[in-house]
Amino acid sequence: MAILNRTSDGLFNVLIVIYKVLAHYGPLSKDDVKSMVAPGDVTDTQVNNTLNRWTQLGLFSVDGTAVSITPEFRPGEGEGVDLAVCRLPVILRTIIFRQENNANFWDSECSASADFSRGISWLLAQDVYSFGTNSHATVQNVEKVQLADPSQRILQNDTRWPGLCHWATYLGFAWDAATLVVDPTVAVRESLPEVFTGGKTLIASSFLEALACVLPVLDYGAYRQEVETALNPQNWRKPPKFFLSTSLSRALKRLELSGEITLEHLADTGEAYRMMRQQGAEWGRVFTHVTWNYAEGK
């Protein structure tokens, strides 16, 4: 069980339609779901594989012959179906990063959603300005020299690479241009309500710790650290202490430029962090505090 093999693990665009159908109609039989989702270019097999995988992961529940959205992931009271579908990436990130879905972190077959967690952690750990995503062969060669243990590699065939690209884009960790652009801005933005639970300003270390709990594939996150520990230091360079990776730096800088967050340096108030851009250059001033400017009622 995994999610990156699109043939056997299902497709995210099919998942969106299944979720929308069940959110609108409530519990349905599998045959009813297939009849509503499968017309056109979608096949019964694609619907069945997607439904099975995301039932195993916890998004859907089965009671007898009826399939429904698991209660905690259903649209909220007064929330329309379309708005719930817009929130689906947030829901899926929660499910994908659950500890129970990453228990067999390095298992290539029975990994639940850990294949995505490993793959995106590895991408986010790269220098996003020099790392080439233009072809699977390029990515494969870099992974081969960074992960000496073949059993820990996730992208050594071209089956999972397209799946990783599609899921990374849909879940807010990248966007698609001529090639894949690694950029977690959307995922970070959508996670801010879970990060700023006790006020609109946090010291930088608390902000990064909370963000890593919500998105454990980012700097200081559990899955990210698991992957970084496995990387060959001769072929991968860890950012210096208190420097953020280029991927997280890109996201925070974009959010700062858009006015959504403010990065401040207040004297004698804790550890100061630095953002990093091309060639390891420092980007902007150091910061000790992060303020979420769009926080409501805080």
Q: What is the mean pLDDT of residues 11-37?
A: 94
- Lowest-confidence pick of 39-53, 90-104, 131-145, 206-220: 39-53
**Cα–Cα separations (whole angstroms), residue 281 to 129, 233, 249:** 12, 20, 11
One domain, residues 115 and 55? no
Element (H, E) at 102: none
- Residue 97 domain-assigned (yes or no): no
Q: List the structure tokens of 66.
A: 């009826």
Asked if 172 and 192 count as a contact pair (C-beta separation under 8 A), the reply is: no
d(CA 247, CA 126): 8
- Which of 37-41, 53-57, 192-196, 202-206 has the least mean pLDDT? 37-41
d(CA 91, CA 291): 24
pTM above 0.75, yes or no: yes
CA torsion, ordered 190, 191, 196, 201, to nearest 10 deg: -70
Across 29-50, average pLDDT? 85
Domain boundary (55, 86, 117) is at 86
- CB-CB contact of 255 with 189 (8 Å): yes
Q: Across residues 201-221, what is the average pLDDT?
A: 98
Task: Domain count for the chain, please give it.
Answer: 3
Q: Domain containing 268: what range?
A: 191-216+237-292
Q: Count Cα atoms within 13 angstroms, Cβ side, for 212.
A: 18
- For residue 284, is it within any domain? yes
- Of 59, 86, 113, the residue at which a domain comes to its end is 86
Question: 38 or 211, which is more confident?
Answer: 211
Q: Is the residue at 223 inside a domain? A: no
Count how many Cα atoms sit within 13 Å of the Cα of residue 99 in the half-sphere of its side chain.
3
What CA–CA distance (Å, rounded) separates 232 from 30? 46
Is the CB of residue 248 less than 8 Å from the CB of residue 264? Answer: no
